[in-house]
Copies of this chain bind each other. A is one copy, B any other.
Amino acid sequence: MLALPLNPAWGFEEEGYDLWLRYRPLEGPPREKVEARAKAIVVPKNPSLTILAAVAELHRGLSGLVGRAPVLAGEVEEGAVVLATPASMPAIKSLKLPLAGLGAEGYLVRATKLDGHKVTLIAANSDVGLLYGTFAWLRAVRTGANLEKLDEQSAPKVHLRMLNHWDNLDRTVERGYAGESIWDWWTLPEVKDQRYVDYARATASLGINGTVLNNVNARIEIVTAPWIAKVKAVAEVLRPYGIKVYLAVRWSTPVELGDLKTADPLDPKVLAWWKERAEAIYAAIPDFGGFLVKANSEGQPGPQDYERSHADGANMLAKALAPHGGLVLWRAFVYSAHDTEDRHKQAYTEFKALDGKFAKNVIVQVKNGAIDFQPREPFHPLFGAVPKTPLFMEFQITKEYLGFATHLAYLGPMYEEVLQDDTHQGGKGTTVAKVIDGRAHGYKITGVAAVANTGSHRTWCGSHFDQANWYAFGRMAWDPEASSEAIAREWIEQTFSTDPRVVKAILAIMMESREAVVDYMTPLGLHHVMATGHHYGPGPWVSNLKRPEWNPVYYHQADKNGIGFDRTASGSNAASQYAPALAKRFSDPKTTPEKYLLWFHHLPWDYKMPSGRTLWEELIKRYDRGVDAVTGFRARWDKLKDDIDVRRHREVATFLAIQEREAQWWRDASIAYFASVSKRPLPKGTIPPPLSLDEYKSLSFPYAPGRGLPPRPYY
């Protein structure tokens, strides 16, 4: 019988659904140590739903880990896990715990004695802190911490840690590569799917405390009564897990619903309309978080349609939400349909001028870079530049430009690179992390958001390794100073194996993976050279799109003389938007970091690189290096065959095969194209692309995933 759990007939083939909350049986001494520490659970009297969620997680976790769910004990006993706040158990005050510094969400987990009994104490100032502490203890258990000496405390450095779902009301997901939306709007509000609970568990286990349920390209129905009822049902599932619900709204909703003739933010009728909507929402969802708005961006309506500013628009909505404590998250991802200025510069220009003009409950949400979630971008120049405007960071977890779900690319290092970059605003050492967590400018509200990669695929994220990106984002939102490598390690230990050899091997692949994508897609600061619309595969030749800044040729500017976007004073001068120290550095190719070279400079093909190679040679070298890296990942993964369960090993291996083929395609098509414009022969030793440029150009993918909704419902 004991052998059975591994038999596929029992459904024990690992599908990845459990994410990092994978409570597989421990064996031997580790099991005994946990058993000794999990004999009972003590919780506050009259436990809240949040406490019950913590208990359920302990039951689930320990049933899996040691095969036995501990009993709920009325009093502290030997070997218990004790969840306590100073209010629920005044006795813990005698321990002089450093709870004051933990705030409303922090926690402390300590192996200690209570009433003479050896216990594990999880203490916090609130129930959600206890829930976070519970997840922390379960994480400690599974990452091999010494449970006898446990003494961990942690508090989030950022107030709001949010997922943004670009999920449409028909269940498609814009830039989603993991199947349909997890929100089955059609069967809501009646059906509260088990998946919503599991989403809440995973999300809360990372300390994420907010989620925007719908796409920023929002539809008008979301604020109508039937949809508020659906959102309410989701909010009820998420609430015990400390997760507030937010909605993306469409600026023109009052007009499109037929209620008003205008959406002018300065028209009192417009404010009145939104006040009434806010009241309806808060009547259903008293802790509703607020609105996320994409306005006057990529065809979305906005206040500028009425010749009003972003501040006018945001402040009007803020006024509607303020009585209820709601926030307006106003996105800075804007560029004008008429402005011919370098798109890199537009958001900065617009929002810099508005610094200090936003209401108190408005936050401006800024993508990590000034273009659009590229494999690599310098940080957005707004960070550090608007001390009177609280900025949220907007990362992208879903890999719109990094190979969809089929490419292995661990994004932790990318997030870390951005967060640790020094804005030099107000002097050296003002990192983006310090801007975001409020240390730089004393923001009253701080936050980090990311576009989610979740869907109804059995792995949640479309692939096993994309789970690590959700995980890494959550952990870095809690602590923007965290190490992406340490995070990857603990993720591997919880998800795949605690065997140090296996951890080391997987960790190495993960830490190298994003750089490989940069190499085979956008080396040396190239950007936005992807195919049109779906962004799948190479499209450096694309030049037929209506607006210049939609075309890859606009971004790489390659011709027979050279390549790269001149953003110095001789070009768009976007470099000047950075602090003087950086602006100076970016103005000279010699001092510009190589990784941003072609982002800031247009250089001749024969430009001499530090390596001694010409730029043309170096470019090809990078493409080759990217492909070689993936070939290496495949070989290294294959060696882990006996260390990973069969199904997950096979699935990752298959995706790596796809990635290798596509990396090669990126390399070949890019070289074919740049050779055609540079009119240069391939450097000696270069393997020529197997197809003609026309053949690469002819490939089309009309059914690529990640599409948005068409402009109107079909019926």
Does A63 sit at the interface, judged by CB under 8 A?
yes
Closest to A531 in B: B715
Given contacts A406-B187, A456-B456, whether A9 and B714 have CB atoms under 8 Å apart is no
Does A369 sit at the interface, judged by CB under 8 A?
no
- Chain B residues within an 8 Å CB radius of A378: none
B-contact bits for A697-715, CB 8 A (1 contact / 0 none): 0000011110110100111
- Chain B residues within an 8 Å CB radius of A4: 63, 67
Instruction: Determine whether the beta carbon of B190 is less than 8 Å from that of A532.
Output: no
Name the segment of A10-18, A318-326, A563-571, A668-676 touching the other chain: A10-18
Given contacts A4-B63, A7-B63, whether A194 and B13 have CB atoms under 8 Å apart is yes
Partner of A60, one of B8, B532, B654: B8
Instruction: Determine whether the beta carbon of A191 is less than 8 Å from that of B651.
Output: yes
Instruction: Determine whether the beta carbon of B704 is less than 8 Å from that of A10.
Output: no
Nearest CB of chain B from residue A637's CB, rounded to whole Å: 15
5 nearest interchain CB pairs? A533-B715, A702-B713, A9-B60, A9-B63, A170-B703
Does A221 sit at the interface, judged by CB under 8 A?
yes
Does A680 sit at the interface, judged by CB under 8 A?
no
The secondary-structure label for the interface of chain A is loop
Chain A residues engaging chain B, CB cutoff 8 angstroms: 1-2, 4-5, 7-13, 17-18, 23, 59-61, 63-64, 67, 69, 168-171, 179-180, 185-187, 190-191, 194, 221, 406, 456, 532-534, 647, 651, 654-655, 657-658, 702-705, 707-708, 710, 713-715
- Chain B residues within an 8 Å CB radius of A190: 654-655, 657-658
Report the separation of the CA atoms of residues A12 and B187 in the bound assembly, to the nearest whole angstrom. 24
Closest to A195 in B: B458
Instruction: Determine whether the beta carbon of A707 is less than 8 Å from that of B715.
Output: yes
Instruction: Determine whether the beta carbon of B23 is less than 8 Å from that of A715.
Output: no
Nearest CB of chain B from residue A212's CB, rounded to whole Å: 18
- Chain B residues within an 8 Å CB radius of A179: 171, 179-180, 456
12 contacts between A and B (CB under 8 A): A5-B5, A9-B59, A13-B194, A180-B180, A180-B456, A185-B703, A190-B654, A190-B658, A703-B713, A707-B715, A708-B714, A710-B714
- Chain B residues within an 8 Å CB radius of A715: 532-534, 702, 704, 707
Report the separation of the CA atoms of residues A657 and B192 in the bound assembly, to the nearest whole angstrom. 13
Instruction: Determine whether the beta carbon of A9 is less than 8 Å from that of B61.
Output: yes
Q: Apart from A5-B5, A179-B180, A532-B715, what 17 extra A-B contacts exist at CB < 8 Å?
A: A7-B60, A7-B63, A7-B69, A9-B23, A9-B60, A9-B63, A11-B11, A169-B702, A170-B705, A179-B456, A186-B704, A190-B657, A190-B658, A191-B654, A221-B703, A702-B715, A710-B710
- Chain B residues within an 8 Å CB radius of A64: 7, 9-10
Partner of A533, one of B60, B170, B714: B714
Report the separation of the CA atoms of residues A651 and B190 in the bound assembly, to the nearest whole angstrom. 10
Report the separation of the CA atoms of residues A17 and B713 in the bound assembly, to the nearest whole angstrom. 31
Nearest CB of chain B from residue A253's CB, rounded to whole Å: 14
Instruction: Determine whether the beta carbon of B9 is less than 8 Å from that of A17.
Output: no
Report the separation of the CA atoms of residues A5 and B704 in the bound assembly, to the nearest whole angstrom. 40
Interface centre among A63, A170, A186, A655 (most CB of B within 10 A): A186
Report the separation of the CA atoms of residues A221 and B7 in the bound assembly, to the nearest whole angstrom. 40
Given contacts A67-B1, A647-B194, whether A707 and B702 have CB atoms under 8 Å apart is no
- Chain B residues within an 8 Å CB radius of A5: 5, 10
- Chain B residues within an 8 Å CB radius of A1: 2, 67
Instruction: Determine whether the beta carbon of B63 is less than 8 Å from that of A186.
Output: no
Report the separation of the CA atoms of residues A2 and B702 in the bound assembly, to the nearest whole angstrom. 51
Instruction: Determine whether the beta carbon of A169 is less than 8 Å from that of B221.
Output: no
Nearest CB of chain B from residue A581's CB, rounded to whole Å: 42
Interface centre among A2, A180, A705, A715 (most CB of B within 10 A): A715
Report the separation of the CA atoms of residues A12 and B17 in the bound assembly, to the nearest whole angstrom. 13
Interface centre among A9, A59, A60, A61 (most CB of B within 10 A): A9
- Chain B residues within an 8 Å CB radius of A186: 703-705
Report the separation of the CA atoms of residues A657 and B170 in the bound assembly, to the nearest whole angstrom. 22
Closest to A455 in B: B180
Given contacts A221-B702, A533-B715, A714-B710, whether A17 and B11 have CB atoms under 8 Å apart is yes
Report the separation of the CA atoms of residues A658 and B5 in the bound assembly, to the nearest whole angstrom. 36
Interface centre among A534, A657, A713 (most CB of B within 10 A): A713
Report the separation of the CA atoms of residues A191 and B651 in the bound assembly, to the nearest whole angstrom. 8
- Chain B residues within an 8 Å CB radius of A61: 9
Report the separation of the CA atoms of residues A219 and B713 in the bound assembly, to the nearest whole angstrom. 21
- Chain B residues within an 8 Å CB radius of A17: 11
Nearest CB of chain B from residue A107's CB, rounded to whole Å: 22
Closest to A186 in B: B705
Report the separation of the CA atoms of residues A59 and B4 in the bound assembly, to the nearest whole angstrom. 12
